[in-house]
Structure 1
């Protein structure tokens, strides 16, 4: 998706039920209007962690500068990848945006308010009003196109400020003492898979992860990556409404229920996904059971085999099998 239609940009979700204030309250406090001169706002950073408890602060901040919201899950590799791209792009805009990362699993009110049906996803808040942007990992060039459109929308709403990082008025460069250790380079097939995901080419990413597994069947990161990108490929081009409507219309259809479970896993609703498929399992024919069992095993890799939710679901699956 290279562009966001203007009508979509205006289709904001009202967050007032979450923050218990009118979106215009911040405007009254700042006096922002479309003709206001740009404001310079000193902040300690361009990057923040958002929670259900502190998000009011970012609504106020959005009266001065557009706030990008990164809806993420710590266990999902695509979330980590999108976060890295967003950070890089926001640094390049030199204070015209700030980034707020929200863990959807630990902040359910924000996940619901932003209608986070899958992760990763990106949204924005401009002049106290949320704007849904996109879901999944997008190529960096397309993300920059989206940001340019957001600046136009922000200007229309009088949000033309710029953040200066406290100190010298710009993001401070890292010293050798401050710099974090550089991560180990990815194995070749993993790197190729990441690049394919960034392009939106999930089939190519799947092929690269399969090659990595063929070379080393004990490559657990490739196994988890294959499960994650396969899930993204299954959801690509589908809407949450059509997925849930199809499942509701045919509650014993294994394929339809698996797709809803995919949606739940991608949105961080892990227990819901497990319970849906494990409840369905006893009603299925043997060949359908094999499909559901394979899907559950994929989920176990995505969430993490040591996760307590996975351990409970694995025990429940074993009781159904034996």
Structure 2
């Protein structure tokens, strides 16, 4: 192959969901061969935006031979993925998750690397996975196969993401030693909720923007409408009058939950966008000034998706829970793009070395 051929990278995205990782890698200049995910509900979003096939399959049923038939012939092959991270999430607050089905999925990722031997591997997940036994096995497996492996925790705003999100990014290569991607946006002050969503049209609680069905806000009960009106950006439920406080707030254990029923701050990055970011009561997901939770579109933009990204086919109902899960579970595209650009630079460097 020529140096030009070597610079072409073909990607298979395991656990692809709605396509956040694929989008970022495509923005970096890679060719997406396919996304693989068990959730059929993600097909429309993936295929419409990424313009690549979506294979609805359980990763346990996928084989290395299937992957090798899917990558573009003659390209450098990248196996990318974000195994479901719920067992490692900080939101689990120390719960015993060892029996959950998500635990073995990173082992399945390692199996597919072993069976297909792609030149490049990238894996993204929550930082807490870095101290887990399953992650240790994953790294050891890659190293035993001859991969050079590196990983670090990436802070979203340093990569252009308007969100206080930290993600572990692992890179591995058979081509040669590789280091971690450098921040692409050294000044976190440049990314904020204001810069990301202030230009979107106003929307009332329980309503949506006629020109964008995704710009849809969940309705609020009468008491929650009073609560959000009593909330200030960056404040807590402690700002409310006593009659609006829930019984759990009056308990000593409730005093630690200050980041629920709260508004975002305009000039800071948003909190971590979860699968329930459209719900005022599940985090600091109140709009900075409008009396509602953020919309699905706002959640997607704060997660790093462009406003043109589609999640549901035209004319089909938009279910808050379904789409919220697609958004919250997605790899933030700006972090994926930085990893992709770094991998491409690595390929160019090793192809001419």
**TM-score for both structures, normalised by structure 1:** 0.28
Which structure dedicates a bigger proportion of its chain to helix? 1
